Structure 1
Amino acid sequence: MQNPDPAPAAPTVISRTGTAYFPIALVSRLPYAMMVIGVLTLVVAARGSIELGGLNSAMVGLGVAFCGPLIGAAADRFGQRPTLLITGALNSVVLGALAWVAFSDLPVWTVFLGSLLAGATAPQVSPMSRSRLVTIIKQDLPVQKRPRALSSFLAYESAADEVIFVFGPVAVGLLATTLGAWAPMVGAAILTLIFVTAFALHHTSAPPQSAAERAATLAPASELWRPTLLVTVLGIFAVGAFFGSMLTSLTSFMQDRGAAEQAGLYYGVMGVGSAIFAIAVAFLPARFTLRYRWPLFAILILAGTVLLQTAHDIPGMLLSLAVMGIGVGPLLVTLYSFGAHRSPAGRSATVMTMLGSGLMVGQSAAAAVTGIVADQIGTQEALLFPLYSALIALAAGLVNWALTGNTARHTAAAE
C-alpha cells in the first residue's frame, strides 16, 4: 500500500520571489539614493556654487513630488513592468544629459530643468518592491503567517533603504573623487539601465489590469486623501527631512574641521545602527503596537538631536548619531507598516510611492535649506534642522495617535 502524497509545503515569500530578487531590488534602488547628493556634487563642481547645488537638489525632490505618485498610479493601472521600463530608460538619458549640461555653457535654467526631469523620471523601485512583497504576503501566505511576515519584510525593506541611503553618498564620493564630478550621474544612469530593467522584467512584477478588473478591485482615488494616510506621509516626510538636514549639517560640521570628505563615513555610524534596529523591529512583541511605536521612536530621534546641539567634537557627534540611529530605522519601518495597512484596495503601489516620494522630497528640501543656512549663517544654526525634523515627526505621531483612537484593538499587524 502506497503512502499518500505528502502535503505540499506552505508557500513562503522567498519561494514566491526567488533568491535573485533581493540583490536585484537592492542594487536597482541605489541610483535613487545617489541622485540628490550626486546632483549637489555635480553642480557645485561645475558651476562653483554651494547654494546653486542645494537648489538643484531641491529641484530633484520637486520632480519626485510631482511625478512619483503618478508613476505609482501608472504601475497600479498599467502594471509595474511597462512603467519601470519607460521611466528607467528616460531617467538614464536624463542623468547622462545632466552630467553634460552642468559643465556646458548653457544657461543655469537648463541645469534646473535637468534636475527637475531627473526627479520626475526617477524609477520608484523601493515602493514598488514593498508593493510586490505586501501583495505576495496578503495573497499567497496563510493568514496566520501574514502579520509576522509583513513586519519582517517591511523591516528588511527599511533596512535595505537605510543601507542604500548610507552607501549612496559614499558611492557618489568615491566616483567623484576618482573619476570626476560627472561620474556619479553617469554611473547612476548605467546602474538604472541595467538593474532597473532587470527589476522590471522579474516575474514578481505586478501585471496590468483590465478595465473590468480595475473597476472591481480599485478603490476610489478619494481614499488616498484620508487623514490617517496623509499623516503617515507627513511622518515619512519628516524622516526624509531628518536625513537631508543631518547629512548636510554633518558635512558642514566636518568642513569646519577640514575633513568634509569624511562626513559620509561618520554618517554611516547612524545608518548602520539604524539598519540593525530596523531589522530588530520584526522581533518586537505584537502588544507593542504601531500606535505606540511611532511617538516612542520619534522621541529617541529627538533625544539624539537635542544631544546634537551640545556636540562640539567628534566623540560628541558620534554619540548623538548613535542615539538617533536607534530611533530612525524603527520609525521608518513603523511608517511603512502603517502605509501598508492603510493602502486602499488596488492602490498599494500608489501609496508606497507616495511614501517614497515623501522621503525624497523631505531629504532634498531639507538638504537645500540646511545647506543655505550652513553657508550663510553657520554650522551651529544648521544643526538645529535635524531637531526641527524630529519635532515634526513626533507631532505627526501624536496626531496619528489621536486619529487612530482607542475603539479598536490595535496590533503590530493592524495598526
Structure 2
Amino acid sequence: MLGPYRQILSLPGALAFSAAGLLARFPGGMISLGIILMLSALTGSYATAGSVAATFVVAQAVCAPQLARLVDRHGQARVMAPSLALSAAGLLALVLAAVTGAPTWTLYAAAAVAGATVGSMGALVRARWTQVVRTPGELHSAFSLESALDEVTFVVGPVVATVLATGVAPWAGVSLALVLVVVGGYTFLAQRATEPPLVVVEGRAARGSVMRSAAMAGLVGVFVFVGSIFGASDVATVAFTAEQGSPGAAGVLLGIFATGSMIAGLLYGAKVWEGPAWRRFLLGVVVLAVGSALFLLVGSLPVMAAVMFVTGFAISPTIINGNAIIQHIVAPGRLTEGLTWLSTGINLGVSVGASVAGAMIDRAGSVGGFGTVAVSGLLAVLAALFTAPVLRRRAGRDLPHVP
C-alpha cells in the first residue's frame, strides 16, 4: 500500500513541500476551536466566542478564492508572503485583544483580518503536486496523500487546541496556531524550485471567476452540502454524547469519523482506478449520504463509533475525486483558484450546517441535529445528480493538468 506514496515522495522537492504544507495547514484544525476556547474563558461569553470564530471562518471562505486568483496570476510566494504576514498579525492582535480585555469590536476586526489573509494552504500544496508528478496515476496518489494528511489535522488539531487552552492558558492554542502559520507557511514558500510557474491565460478563460463555469458551480454546490454534513455532525455528536452521559466522548467519536476517512484516503490512493472520476465522485456522495443518515438510528456510543468509522470511509475518496475533477474543468492557469473554491464550499457548508443543526438541537435534541445531517446528505445527492451530466461532458473532454 505504501509503495505509491514512497514513489511520489521521492520526487525532487516533494517530501519537503508536502511536510511544510502539512505544518502550515495544521492550524486549520485548531484556530476555530482555539478561538472559542480562548474567548469563552477570557470573556465568559460563548456567544461572543462563537461569533468571532465564525467571523474568521467566513472571512477565509470569502477571501481565499480571491487570494488564489492572485496566486495564479502572480505566483505563490509573491502573493502569500505578505498575506501570511497580515494573517499572523491578525492572530496576534486577536490574542492581545482577548488577554487585555480590549473592546469587543477589536476581536471581530482581528479575526476578520486573520481569516481574510490566511488563504488555502491545501490548494497551494495540491497545485505544486501537479507540477512535480509525471503521470495521472501519481497525481491521484498525491491528492490521496494530501486528503489523508488533511484528516490528520482534523483529528490531532482540536485535541492539541483543547489541551493547550485548558491545561496551559486560554490563549495557548491560538498562539501555537500563529506560530505554525508563520513557520510552516514561510518554510513552504521558501521552496521556490517546486513553485508552479505562471501560466498565461488568455481569452474568455482569463476573464471573471472560475465559478462562471456550470460544472464548477455545480461541483462547489455539492461540496457546500457535503460540508453541511460535517458541520451538522460535529454539533449533533456533541449533543448525542451529552445525552448519553459522556460529553467527553464527542472528540473521540469525531476522531474516529476522521480516522476512517484518513485510512480510506490512503487505501484509495494506493490503487489506480479505472473509469471516470465523476462517476466515482457521485458514488462517494451517495455512500456518504446513506451512511450519515444512519446516525439517526443509533442509540449507543459503541454503535455510533462503528457507524461513524465505516461512514468515514466515504469522505476522503469523495474529496479526492472532487479535486481530480477540478483538473478537467478549469484552465491550468486557474488551478489554484479552482481548488480553493472546493475547500471554500466545504467551509461554508460546515458553518451553515453547524448553525442549522444547533437550532434543531435546541428544539429536538440530538435527533434534530442528526436530522439536519440526513437532509444535508439528501441535498448533496440531489445536487450531485443534477451536476453529473455537465461533469461527464467536461471530464471526458480534457486530460488532467500534469507536466
TM-score over 0.5 for the pair:
yes
Question: Aligned ranges for residues 300-379 of structure 1 at < 5 Å?
Answer: 300-375=287-362, 378-379=365-366
1:182 aligns with 2:137: no
CA apart distance, 1:333: 0.7
Matching residue within 160, 167, 176 for 2:149: 160
The equivalent position to 1:36 in structure 2, one of 28, 32, 35, is 32
Distance 2:326 2:393 in 1: 19
Identity of aligned residues (%): 25
What residue identity is the alignment partner of 2:263?
Answer: I
Q: Give the direction of change, closer, same or farther, for the CA distance of 1:12–1:379 in structure 2 (3 Å limit).
A: closer
Equivalent runs, 1:245-264 vs 2, <5 Å: 245-264=232-251
| Cα displacement (A) at 1:378 | 2.5
Of residues 136, 143, 156 in structure 2, which corresponds to 1:147? 136
**CA deviation digits over 1:316-353, x for unaligned, max 9?**
21122123212111111111111122222311111112
Q: Secondary structure at the match of 2:248?
A: helix
- Indicate the SS of the match to 1:198: helix
Name 1:7's counterpart in structure 2.
none
1:362 and 1:14 mapped to 2: Cα distance?
36
Listed as ranges, the matches of 1:38-53 within 5 Å are 38-53=34-49
The answer to whether residue 182 in structure 2 is matched with residue 193 in structure 1 is yes
Partner of 2:81: 85
Corresponding residue for 1:120? 116
Please give the alpha-carbon distance, in whole angstroms, between the structure 2 residues aligned to 1:290 and 1:337: 7
Q: Give the CA deviation at 1:63.
A: 0.2
Indicate if the aligned counterparts of 1:51 and 1:368 stay in contact, CA closer than 8 A: no
1:397 CA displacement: 1.6
Match of 1:276 in 2: 263
Tell me how far apart the structure 2 counterparts of residues 407 and 121 of structure 1 sit (CA, whole Å): 32
Say what the alpha-carbon RMSD is for the aligned residues.
2.8
The ranges of structure 1 where at least 4 consecutive aligned residues each deviate by more than 6 angstroms after the TM superposition are: 410-414
3-state SS in 2 of match to 1:81:
helix
Q: Report how far residue 175 of structure 1 moved.
A: 1.2
Deviations for 1:184-205, whole angstroms, at most 9, x for unmatched residues? Answer: 1111001111111101111345
How far off is 1:81 after superposition? 0.8
Q: Is residue 25 from structure 1 mapped to residue 21 from structure 2 by the alignment?
A: yes
CA contact 2:326–2:338 (8 Å) conserved in 1: yes
Q: Flag structure 2 segments of 5+ consecutive residues without an equivalent.
A: 1-6
Q: Distance in 2 between matches of 1:196 and 1:408?
A: 33
Match of 1:239 in 2: 226
Once the two structures are TM-superposed, the CA of residue 261 in structure 1 deviates from its matched residue by 3.4
Following the alignment from structure 2 to structure 1, what is the Cα–Cα distance between the partners of residues 296 and 262?
24
TM-score (norm 1): 0.86
In 2, are the aligned partners of 1:57 and 1:364 still within 8 Å (CA)? no
Q: What SS is found at the alignment partner of 2:206?
A: coil
Contact 1:26 1:160 in 2 (8 A): yes
The corresponding residue for 2:3 is none
Q: Are the aligned partners of 1:289 and 1:412 in contact in 2 as well (CA < 8 Å)?
A: no
- 2:63 aligned with 1:76: no
- Once the two structures are superposed, what CA deviation does each residue of 1:291-331 show, in whole Å capped at 9, x if it has no partner? 22122212221222221002221012112212321211111
Counterpart contact for 2:151–2:261, Cα < 8 Å: yes
State whether residues 101 and 110 of structure 1, in contact with CA within 8 Å, keep that contact through their aligned partners in structure 2.
Answer: yes
State the alpha-carbon separation in 2 of the partners of residues 405 and 19 from structure 1.
Answer: 34
Largest Rg, 1 or 2: 1
Mapped contact 2:88–2:181 kept (Cα < 8 A): yes
**Greater CA drift, 71-80 or 35-44:** 35-44
Aligned to 2:4: none
Q: TM-score, normalised by structure 2?
A: 0.88
CA offsets 1:252-311 (integer angstroms, 9 cap, x no match): 222334443332222111111111112222355643422221222122212222210022
Unaligned runs of 5+ in 1: 1-10
Equivalence for 2:132: 136
Aligned residue identity for 2:157: G
Is the contact between residue 85 and residue 182 of structure 2 (CA under 8 Å) also seen in structure 1? yes
Distance 1:408 1:79 in 2: 27
CA–CA distance in structure 1, aligned partners of residues 280 and 341 of structure 2: 21
Q: Would the aligned equivalents of 1:288 and 1:411 in 2 still touch at CA under 8 Å?
A: no
2-side partners of 1:412 and 1:282: how far apart?
19
- Between 67-76 and 360-369, the greater mean CA deviation after superposition: 360-369
Give the 3-state SS of the residue equivalent to 1:45 in structure 2: helix
Say how many residue pairs are matched.
395
Q: Contact conserved, 1:291 with 1:404, CA < 8 A, in 2?
A: yes
